[in-house]
Structure 1
Amino acid sequence: MINKPNLSKSIILSTSAKLFRAQSFAQVSMRDIAKALNVKASSLYNHISSKDEILEELIFELVDTFMSKINETLHKTIDTKSKLEDIIQTHINIAVHKPNQFATLNNDWKYLKPNKKGNFQNQRQNYEQILKSIIVKGVDNQEIKNSNPEIILYLMLSSLRTLHLWYEKKDIDTQTFKNEIPKLILEGIIK
């Protein structure tokens, strides 16, 4: 007798994220997901209604995490450097612990249904505005070099959004990664 895998929504989501990262959302079918899970495609529908639902859950779980953490950081009574370090650590933790889901967020959001895509874009814009407000306050308080806040914002985000691409490929222990990335990103902007 063949043992059936213990199929749960979380296993479906993590397996799907791995497949989406390797091939992209557009290239993966429900049959591909079922095959990776060693079940029939019909079994998936007992846990999830569609591939679109999988994508939404993967993306909006991280969107909620990012928004919750940046709002929490915004309201802390700490200096700008500490706030930026806190935000960087959030990105690092997700890149280290959920790299496939992070890749799905960054690469496959464009496949969201129009209303969900609009929601995602609004949330991303809101995140960027909050981060920019922290940077502007840091410039105003002379905690950050007097540089263009937009350039600082996109320099940070371009670095943070790609952490998952190279972290797993390098022989760097997690603690070194967590210690060095904030220092290297902020070294050029913090006085």
Structure 2
Amino acid sequence: MSKPNLSKPIVLKTSAKLFRHQSFAQVSMRDIANALNVKASSLYNHILSKDEILEELIFELVDKFMTKINETQNKTIDTKFKLEDIIHTHIDIAINTPNQFATFNSDWKYLKSDKKKYFLTQRKIYEQILKSIVEKGIDDQDIKKCNPEIIIYQMLSSLRTLHLLYEKKDISTHTFKKEIPKLILEGIIK
């Protein structure tokens, strides 16, 4: 019998899958160990706690989202292309790491107090940057004059569940990247 691969990335990937299907609160270290076919005590050589796993999964994506929105904000392109860039980032993350993306969207509430506060601060900063992009687009008449908060809510609400549709349907990544921005930014009415 071969020795199981207990690298940290494998532990994180397996944990994300379990968290997605059962929620962070319902999964124990023993459940993670069973999914990896090892004893729970073996996990502690790689991970200190279930909370550490959650933090790593969530803050890896926080870093990706924050890096990308800052890069996009500083690009010298019009609002439509900035918003498409942001939408493509959400699509890429949802498609390439659907379990981690689901954990990011659903299980952040289980972060310890100081980590939750940091997460919420980063989310607020992200939304403020997005709002400034939308407001500039309205001022430049690149997009319709609507309430920026509603635009942001509509965009992010649509993007937070992309991983669910992508996994259930036989739709190519190319089609997602072409049609999702078009539908969010232009609507469905001719």
Paired position in structure 2 for 1:157: 156
Corresponding letter in the other structure for 2:143:
I
In 1, Cα distance between equivalents of 2:126 and 2:162: 18
Paired position in structure 2 for 1:119: 118
**CA-based RMSD:** 1.0
TM-superposition CA deviations, 1:3-55 (whole Å, max 9, x none): 11111000000000000000000000000000000011011000010000000
State yes or no: 1:73 paired with 2:72.
Answer: yes
Which runs of structure 2 are paired with 1:14-163 in the superposition (5 Å)? 14-163=13-162
Gapped regions of structure 2 (runs ≥ 5): none
In 2, Cα distance between equivalents of 1:188 and 1:70: 23
Paired position in structure 1 for 2:165: 166
In 2, Cα distance between equivalents of 1:171 and 1:117: 36
In 2, Cα distance between equivalents of 1:30 and 1:149: 43
Q: Which moved more, 1:132-141 or 1:157-166?
A: 157-166
Structure 1 residue 118: Cα displacement? 0.2
Corresponding letter in the other structure for 1:36:
A
Q: Normalised by the size of structure 1, how large is the TM-score?
A: 0.97
In 2, Cα distance between equivalents of 1:128 and 1:108: 19
TM-superposition CA deviations, 1:110-164 (whole Å, max 9, x none): 0000000000000000000000000000000000001111110100010011111
In 1, Cα distance between equivalents of 2:187 and 2:42: 52
In 1, Cα distance between equivalents of 2:63 and 2:169: 29
In 2, Cα distance between equivalents of 1:143 and 1:51: 46
Corresponding letter in the other structure for 1:54:
I
Paired position in structure 2 for 1:12: 11
Q: Normalised by the size of structure 2, how large is the TM-score?
A: 0.97
Give runs of ≥4 in structure 1 deviating > 6 Å.
Answer: none
Structure 1 residue 173: Cα displacement? 1.3
SS of residue matched to 2:171: coil
- The percent of aligned pairs where both chains have the same amino acid is 78
SS of residue matched to 2:168: coil
Aligned residue pairs: how many? 188
SS of residue matched to 1:168: helix
In 2, Cα distance between equivalents of 1:100 and 1:178: 19
Structure 1 residue 188: Cα displacement? 3.4
In 2, Cα distance between equivalents of 1:164 and 1:133: 27
In 1, Cα distance between equivalents of 2:128 and 2:160: 16
Structure 1 residue 179: Cα displacement? 1.0
Paired position in structure 2 for 1:3: 2
Gapped regions of structure 1 (runs ≥ 5): none
